[in-house]
Structure 1
Amino acid sequence: MLPGFGVSLGITLAYLGAIVIIPLTALALRPWELGLAGVWHALSDDRVAAALKLSFSLSALAALLNAPLGLLIAWTLTRYEFPGRRLLDALVDLPFALPTAVAGIALTAIYAPTGPLGSLAAKVGLKTAYSPLGIFIALVFIGLPFVVRALQPVLQDLDREVEEAAQTLGANDLQRVAFVVMPVLGPALISGVSLAFARAVGEYGSVVFIAGNMPLRTEIAPLLIVIKLEQYDYAGAAAVGLAMLGISFGALIVINTAQVVLANRGRR
């Protein structure tokens, strides 16, 4: 037993209890003030169902798109030397550094119909801002750094001699990436994608400006929770939050299972 373990464990459990367990317990208990029928009525409302579907579907799609984008960026930053590499590496963290409201305003200015990119998209018939596509763009923006930063340390520690040995034995570039590199990167890639998904599901500030916030069309679940709180419907807001927690927990179980399976295959 390490000296000070008892004190450290006590502080850890107290911190987790105050920051994680107690708030989640309150979230799980508050909706039942409405009764079972009331909770079901709150969650089966068309507006709530549409907001949950929009938030989780677009978050999943954004996280999936960030997987190849993050892998490409991490590979480029790790494996190649070129002018401006450090600047590009620093820019990856920009969504972390920007306040979410500032990011939302900036994205709206760029992708609005009068913005530089929004006007170009409008010429080909695409509406970016104030549409689900605008929400998707914002979620990709805020989730990309998680994938890049999860992959970079693994790529830096990856022994290139293993790749060279595979190439010596006749493996082409595609086989080398598929059978040598990806089994090692798989768990880190899944971890980064899951973090990007989790951040996107609960994102509010960078999405609320570009979304347009039209009920049943571009209204995200976090915004609906805020609206219910402003209407003093605390139990209804907690019911939506509980639904988000349950769906997120189920997704987390699936992601962690896939991560463990890939890690075991990588060891073999």
Structure 2
Amino acid sequence: MKACVAVLLAGLLSGCAWWGYQSQPGSESRWCPQACGDAPDFLAYIYQPEFADSQALKQALAEMLQLIRSAEFAQDVRAFNGWITTPERSADRSLPQVGGEEVYTDVVLSPRRGMHYLVNWEPGQTASTAIDPDRHFGTTILPAQVARWRALLPDGSPDYRQRAQLINTLAHELTHLPTVLIDARQRFKYRDSGWKGELAAKACLVSYRFGQLAECHYLARNAAAPSVAGCMAAAGYQADEQACLALAQP
């Protein structure tokens, strides 16, 4: 049975977010970083007719998950307490914030089972994540973004800068999986729709900062960046905790 994932992020997309979504995917699409067992902490359904894209996505997901579970990455997320959850200002004109421990628990430590991944073209999107009323999560990723994993340097070695961009995308989309109940509907806890109206907040938003931090850790790990801090600053994420806390004020 096939359906479309309905978007609960107002303004992100309208209508069907994910063409090709399968509410009951076949067992052949079931994937875990290690053996699934009875209660895996991460279980996804990956379906895509292009074998090369499917393999690249699985490899990238496995590396991304291993990276964000590392002690070094955990320390950087937990140590930062200026995370902004959404660019939508509240009635008093403040931006909601959470601490690093809450972000790490929500995004990394909470089990994720039943996500759907599809490599497919979507207008104006590198990737997008949606949730339907039955709490099925779907992430669509542009084929060109997945192809970055297969990029090679002239000497035939992996192009880690290209790969890092896919790591960023996957980590970014992972932050959209935690939900909260708003107006009797499940909505993403960490949202970024409308961030261009709060341009300065991008460096503090959970989704963008978490994704960029994963990219920089991946680059530093593979000797493609001198340091995580230098990489973050070069990417425009030099805002420190105090700057993000100040930005969130009315």
TM-score normalized by the length of structure 2: 0.29
TM-score normalized by the length of structure 1: 0.27
Higher-strand-fraction structure: 2
